[in-house]
Every structure is written in C-alpha cells, then in structure tokens.
C-alpha cells in the first residue's frame, strides 16, 4: 500500500499504472463506508501479492 497526495499522484499512480494495476482508495476520515472498505482492500492487496498496488488518498487533504 502506498499513500499518495495531489503532488505525487501523477508519478505514483498514473506512471506506475503503466507497469502494474493500481487500485485507488479515495477516502476521508469522516466517511463510514470508507472505514468499511479500506480494510478489505488492504487485505486483498496482501492476498494478491504483486498483482496490484493499493494507493490511498485522503480527499480532505487533497482537494485539487
């Protein structure tokens, strides 16, 4: 899992997606559904090692 922001999104998500599948988790601390799905996505990333990268971005902190 990688943490991304609006400054490194191009490099870490867009460019990396040319090499490997990227799943982006757009989340916010107040979002209840996010709190439910995030652990599931993290578990899938561990189970399917090297099949995809989970990129997480906090939408409250990255509003661009």
d(CA 59, CA 45): 21
H or E segment to which residue 9 belongs: helix 9-9
- 31 catalytic per annotation: yes
Please identify which of the residues 34, 38, 42, 45 carries the catalytic annotation: 34
Q: Which of 13, 24, 28, 31 is catalytic?
A: 31
CA–CA separation, 21 and 52 (whole Å): 5
Catalytic residues: 31, 34
């Amino acid at each position: 899992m990688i943490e991304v922001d609006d400054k490194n999104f191009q490099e870490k998500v867009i460019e990396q997606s040319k090499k490997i599948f990227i799943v982006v988790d757009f989340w916010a601390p107040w979002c209840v559904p996010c709190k439910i799905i995030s652990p599931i996505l993290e578990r899938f990333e561990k189970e399917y090692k090297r099949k995809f990268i989970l990129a997480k971005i906090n939408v409250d902190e990255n509003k661009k």
